[in-house]
Structure 1
Amino acid sequence: MSLLQVKQVNHTYHSKKLFKWKDQSNMVLHDISFAIEEGTCLGLIGTSGAGKSTLGKVILGIERPQQGQVLFQGNDIYHTDKATQRKIRRDLQVVFQDSYSAVNPRMTAERIISEPLENYEKLTIAEQKRKVSYLLERVGLSDKDLKKYPHQFSGGQLQRINIARAIALKPKLIVLDESVSSLDMVTQSLILDLLRELKEDFGLSYLFITHDIKAAFTLSDTLGVLEKGELIEFYDSKDQFFSSRHPVVLQMRESILAEHPRFRSVPTRVKMG
């Protein structure tokens, strides 16, 4: 049984135009189906407006789709009892793009990481402190950061704290929703290395939602391309992606910038290293 199964999910937004009675429908997800196996990372790439974030919300149980199923460890996340829902919330975590909006600015790093532990585990104060210290160290920070507030960290450091919070309960699956896209290239590379290490050490599975093709191939075992709410193709390797003749993929490849800024005025087809 797959860890996560998304089956024929359809989702539409409805809105009314000014001075008109008729509903305006916008289908953002159309017949989406895929699976994620334990210990693997599915990268999901697409341009802005492709439906990536909406799909992430559907999988996280934030936004119920009009049609289809989302099964996590065999349980339909929208049709299950409260005890199972609580277990799903423990085993299914998320790291968002905006590291600052994802935390309470009045909470210290220690409190931010402790929050899921307080909700799900019965630890003594000493045990909890030891675990938070371990988690901080595991993501590249230290005890001296325990009492700092979000504004005292850089974006990359705060994202490490969000990652520490996400792995605190040893979840089965983490949804990474553009989690490195707001970081500079050096910090992005370091965070991707960290995520790869954590995946191996903790046996994690990821759904990596991104518009960055290079980042996607750094972390992903399989890559899916989402365009206008439809999953158009899946790839198991860089070679498959770069040999695809699908027009959307061709356009994506043309948009990859060269590594050096002086070459960035002309689209390039250079493969990712």
Structure 2
Amino acid sequence: MSLLQVNEVTHSYGSRTFFNWKDRSKKVLNNISLSIEEGTCLGMLGTSGAGKSTLGKVILGLERPQFGQVLFQGYDIYAADKHVRQKIRRDLQVVFQDSYSSVNPRMTAERIIAEPLENYEKLTEAEQKRTIIELLERVGLSEKDLKKYPHQFSGGQLQRINIARAISLKPKLIVLDESVSSLDMVNQTLILALLKELKEEYGLSYLFITHDIKAAYTISDSIGVLEKGELVELYEAKNQFFTSKHPVAQGMRDSILAEHPRFRTVRHT
């Protein structure tokens, strides 16, 4: 049984005028089916507006689809009872793109990471503090960062805190929604390396949502391509993306700039 199974999911958003709703049939996701196995990472590529973030919200239980089914550890997340939903919330975590809007600016790093622990674990005050320090150190920070507030961290450091919070309960699956796209290249490389290490260490599975082909290739085992709400390609091995003759995949590959400007070519239309 797959850890995550998405079956024929279709979702629409209606557009609105001043007086009423219209165009309710505009599909954001159309008949999406995919699966993620334990200990693997599925990279989901797509340009802006392809439906990537909506798919992430549907999988997280934040956006109920009009049609289809999302199974997590064999449970339908939209039909589960209260007890099962609580278990799902523990085992299914997320790291969003904007590290600053993902946290309460009035909370210290210690309080940010403590939230899920307080909700799900029965730890003494000393045990909880020790656990938080261990999590900070695991993501490359230290005990001296416990009492700092979000504005005192760089974007890369704060994303590390978000990652520490996400792994605090040792979840089964983490949805990474453009989680490195707002970072500079150095921090992107460091965070991707950290995510790979954590995946191996904790046996994590990821849904890595991104528009960045290089980032997806770095961390993913398999790659999917979303285009206008449709999963146009799904490659079980990530290398297949680079040999695919599908026009969407070819277009995305052609958009990659060479590492050095001297190797870049200019297209004339």
Please indicate, yes or no, whether the TM-score normalized by the shorter chain is above 0.5: yes
- Say whether the 8 Å CA contact 1:93–1:175 is kept in structure 2: yes
1:35/1:238 Cα in 2 relative to 1: closer, same or farther (>3 Å)? closer
Q: 1:215 maps to which residue?
A: 215
Q: What is the alpha-carbon distance in structure 2 between the residues aligned to residue 111 and residue 22 of structure 1? A: 44
Cα pair distance change 1:148/1:242, threshold 3 Å: same
Q: TM-score, normalised by structure 2?
A: 0.96
Would you say 1:32 and 2:32 are equivalent positions?
A: yes
Instruction: State the identity %.
Output: 78
Equivalent residues in 2 for 1:54-73, closer than 5 Å:
54-73=54-73
In the alignment, the residues of structure 2 paired with residue 100 and residue 265 of structure 1 have an alpha-carbon distance, to the nearest angstrom, of 37
Contact map agreement 1:17 1:24 (CA 8 A) in 2: no
C-alpha distance in 1 between matches for 2:190 and 2:225 = 25
Give the Cα–Cα distance (whole angstroms) in 2 for the partners of residues 172 and 144 of structure 1. 29
Q: Is the 8 A contact 2:220 2:238 kept in 1?
A: no
Tell me the amino acid that sits aligned with residue 98 of structure 1: D
Whole-Å separation in 1 of the counterparts to 2:52 and 2:211:
9
Match of 1:270 in 2: none
Give the CA deviation at 1:17. Answer: 3.6
- 8 Å CA contact 2:42–2:220 kept in 1: the answer is yes
Corresponding residue SS for 1:118: helix
- Structure 2 partner of 1:250: 250
Cα displacement (A) at 1:16? 3.2
Counterparts of residues 60-139 of structure 1 (less than 5 Å): 60-139=60-139
CA distance in 2, matches of 1:135, 1:86: 23
Deviations 1:69-95 (A, max 9, x none): 000000000001100000000000000
What is the Cα deviation at residue 22 of structure 1? 4.6
Name 2:186's counterpart in structure 1: 186
SS in structure 2 at match of 1:103:
coil
1:271 maps to none
Q: Secondary structure of the residue that 2:13 maps to in structure 1?
A: strand
Query: Residue in 2 aligned with 1:196?
Result: 196
**1:49 equivalent in structure 2:** 49
Deviation at 1:236, TM superposition (A): 3.3
Where structure 2 has 5 or more consecutive residues not aligned to the other structure, the ranges are none
User: Hey, what's the Cα distance between the residues in 2 that align with 1:69 and 1:215?
Assistant: 29
| 2:94 aligned counterpart, secondary structure | strand
Structure 1 regions of 5+ residues with no counterpart?
268-273
How far off its partner does 1:263 sit? 4.7
Aligned CA-pair RMSD: 1.4
Number of matched residues?
Answer: 267
Alpha-carbon separation, structure 2, partners of 1:264 and 1:154:
32
Q: Separation in 2 of the partners of 1:156 and 1:62?
A: 26
CA distance in 2, matches of 1:162, 1:222: 24
